Chains A and B, each alone.
Chain A
Amino acid sequence: MNCGTPSPDQLRPALGLSSFNWNQSMDSLSPIFPLPASGEISSFMGNPLNSMHVNRLMQFPADPGFAERAARYSCFSSANYGAFSGVSEAAGKPSRVSSGHCLKAKESRMQLEMGDGEFGSGKEDSSVTDPASVLGESSAKKRKAAAKRKLKVTVENDLIAKKSRSAESTEIEKDSGMPKEEQNVDEKKQGKDDGTKASEPFKDYIHVRARRGQATDSHSLAERVRREKISQRMKLLQDLVPGCNKITGKALMLDEIINYVQALQRQVEFLSMKLATVNPGLEFNLENLFAKESNEESPIPFTLANGIDTHCSIGQLDSILHQAALMQSSLDMFGSSASQVENLWDDELNTVLQSSFGQNQEIGAPSQSFHGQLSIPHMKIEL
């Protein structure tokens, strides 16, 4: 019976290697997750040793957002383990492979479902291949995996997902200069619904079964694989760029994408100029702001295309900033839907930012030194 927090040494012989991995993963995960969750972790560690591992895992997600996150992270690593049992344990490979998986996970919700099913086992062997990058990828992908993706064919996703592992060598070999091929996607695409038979490879190269009435030589197979990849990515982009639902066809879509990126870049430049004029002196007390754990997230869902992660309870500033949906004037041509939300949140934004400024008053030295530099009276924020 342990009192206090048992050290990993004590846990390890009792519960075997799996618990050690769990502790390790907890250590790696806990700095990333907010403090209340890690507090729960340490309290769970203090449970008597004879409690079942599974019980511990079931009690674990008191914080539902945490559970969701944990499931996703475990699913990535467990997916790696399940799929790569045969792959050699070369040092570089797991990280490369996990990155490949993470890339594809953007499109495949199937992996997320896999993770949910394997939550219990996945937790145990969620190891630390590359937690920072995995988490980075996964959180970015989580935002992208909007509900719109439910319509994607899982078989296709499976095909794409498994392909990530065929080290780019197969693509290099079979990848003859391709630009023209991409234009002929349309007719081939109609064959897509006539029985997409993509078999599940478990070796390093892809087993792609040819569809009905399609050519079967290796070149065209590889080309088709590539085309499917590209079409998947175009669909992704279509979700990202606002107002592109009606546009079909790669050339037009490409033009829209280019316009969108150009517009964004122009906006950044314009806003930076504006910031330079408006902003001779301001100080944000960032540490306090981000260390605060208060949950002032708005209950109003955020309806933009880029589903921003509203689970993060850390930055009041951040949540308000994102929800103060400011796709305005120059993006009007893309038809923003969130401009109404903005007016609601202006006040909140102001109050939050003012609170961040207000904290400056409490800190003696920095604010005073800062004010010493100011010469513009109307920008003084000593309030």
Chain B
Amino acid sequence: MKQNKNTSSNNSPRKASMQTYHFLRSLTHINLTRPSSPLHRRSRAIRRAAYVSMARAASPRRMWTRAILGRLQLLRRARLLRRRRNYKKKTTISTPHDKLRRLVPGGEEMDFCRLLEETADYAEFLSKQVRIMRSVVDFMEAECRKKEEKV
């Protein structure tokens, strides 16, 4: 599951820092390639980069990981993995868990048990991502303020 722009060896960073690494990398990529595109498009790209870096850092066995990466780029291998799994239960009955299913990517076709597992994993990575992004924003704002003070 290698992306074209992430071919460098990511073996040494750990899983926690891999998320940071991926995200910062894609962030710089976005800023370098399109610094002048309109705001909403850039924010969409950044949001996509956030989810992708989450998915990259997590295990590819997870359903939500595959869903995100499949959504991103029709990645052949991820889709094969998704198809190969036998879906335990296809339910069309409306359950109280519908909301949760809609929230978690790839949550439509899991049974409740598995959905809870995936939610836990997803929430963990989401919170990590939020932390990363927030610290980056804070840092940048601090830098901005320093620059303005100097000027």
Residues of A whose CB lies within 8 Å of any CB of B are 31-32, 34-35, 99, 102-103, 106, 133, 136-137, 139-140, 143-144, 168, 171-172, 175, 177-179, 182, 226, 229-230, 233-234, 236-237, 240-241, 251, 254, 257-258, 260-262, 264-265, 267-269, 271-284, 286-287, 290-291, 306, 308-309, 311-312, 314-315, 317-322, 324-328, 346, 349-350, 353, 370, 373, 377-379, 381
Across the interface, B134 reaches (CB within 8 A) one of A290, A309, A326, namely A326
Q: How far is the CB of A148 from chain B (nearest CB, A)?
A: 14
The complex places the Cα of A253 from the Cα of B95 at a distance, in Å, of 15
Q: Which residue of A lies closest to B137 (CB)?
A: A274
B residues less than 8 Å from A308 (CB atoms): 16, 128
- In the complex the two chains form, is B31's CB within 8 Å of A99's CB? no
8 A Cβ contacts from B82-109 to A: 86, 88-89, 91, 93, 95-97, 99-100, 103-104
Across the interface, A179 reaches (CB within 8 A) one of B15, B93, B128, namely B93
The complex places the Cα of A69 from the Cα of B14 at a distance, in Å, of 12
Across the interface, B13 reaches (CB within 8 A) one of A178, A254, A274, A290, namely A290
Across the interface, B131 reaches (CB within 8 A) one of A140, A240, A322, A379, namely A322
- In the complex the two chains form, is B43's CB within 8 Å of A273's CB? yes
Interface of A is mostly: helix
Q: Which 4 residue pairs of A and B lie closest in terms of their CB atoms, listed nearest first?
A: A318-B17, A315-B17, A233-B116, A312-B14
Interface of B is mostly: helix
- In the complex the two chains form, is B13's CB within 8 Å of A281's CB? no
Most buried by A among B86, B89, B111: B111
Instruction: Please tell me if B68 contacts chain A, counting CB pairs below 8 Å.
Output: no
B residues less than 8 Å from A258 (CB atoms): 99-100, 103
Most buried by A among B27, B121, B131: B131
Q: How far is the CB of A286 from chain B (nearest CB, A)?
A: 6
| Known contacts A276-B42, A321-B20, A328-B134; A268/B129 CB under 8 A | yes
- In the complex the two chains form, is A290's CB within 8 Å of B17's CB? yes
A residues less than 8 Å from B140 (CB atoms): 275, 278-279, 282
- In the complex the two chains form, is A373's CB within 8 Å of B16's CB? no
- In the complex the two chains form, is B124's CB within 8 Å of A240's CB? yes
- In the complex the two chains form, is B144's CB within 8 Å of A287's CB? no
B contact residues, total (Cβ < 8 Å) = 75
| Known contacts A179-B95, A286-B24; A309/B15 CB under 8 A | yes
The complex places the Cα of A276 from the Cα of B137 at a distance, in Å, of 10
- In the complex the two chains form, is B126's CB within 8 Å of A321's CB? no
Q: How far is the CB of B18 from chain A (nearest CB, A)?
A: 9
Residues of B whose CB lies within 8 Å of any CB of A are 8-9, 11-17, 20-21, 24-25, 27-28, 31-32, 35, 39, 42-44, 46-47, 50-51, 58-61, 86, 88-89, 91, 93, 95-97, 99-100, 103-104, 111-113, 116-117, 119-124, 126-144, 147-148, 151
- In the complex the two chains form, is A268's CB within 8 Å of B126's CB? yes
- In the complex the two chains form, is B151's CB within 8 Å of A378's CB? yes
The complex places the Cα of A326 from the Cα of B32 at a distance, in Å, of 27
- In the complex the two chains form, is A272's CB within 8 Å of B17's CB? no
A residues less than 8 Å from B25 (CB atoms): 284, 286
- In the complex the two chains form, is A279's CB within 8 Å of B31's CB? yes
- In the complex the two chains form, is B116's CB within 8 Å of A234's CB? yes
B residues less than 8 Å from A102 (CB atoms): 61
The complex places the Cα of A35 from the Cα of B13 at a distance, in Å, of 11
- In the complex the two chains form, is A282's CB within 8 Å of B116's CB? no
- In the complex the two chains form, is A257's CB within 8 Å of B119's CB? yes
The complex places the Cα of A378 from the Cα of B93 at a distance, in Å, of 57
The complex places the Cα of A257 from the Cα of B123 at a distance, in Å, of 9
A residues less than 8 Å from B144 (CB atoms): 278, 378-379
- In the complex the two chains form, is A373's CB within 8 Å of B138's CB? no
The complex places the Cα of A141 from the Cα of B135 at a distance, in Å, of 25
Q: How far is the CB of A347 from chain B (nearest CB, A)?
A: 10
| Known contacts A254-B96, A290-B13; A321/B8 CB under 8 A | no
B residues less than 8 Å from A312 (CB atoms): 13-14, 16-17
- In the complex the two chains form, is A286's CB within 8 Å of B21's CB? yes
The complex places the Cα of A106 from the Cα of B99 at a distance, in Å, of 25
| Known contacts A261-B104, A275-B136; A314/B12 CB under 8 A | yes
Q: Which residue of A lies closest to B8 (CB)?
A: A287
A residues less than 8 Å from B117 (CB atoms): 103, 106, 233, 236
A residues less than 8 Å from B116 (CB atoms): 230, 233-234, 236-237
Q: Which residue of B lies closest to A315 (CB)?
A: B17
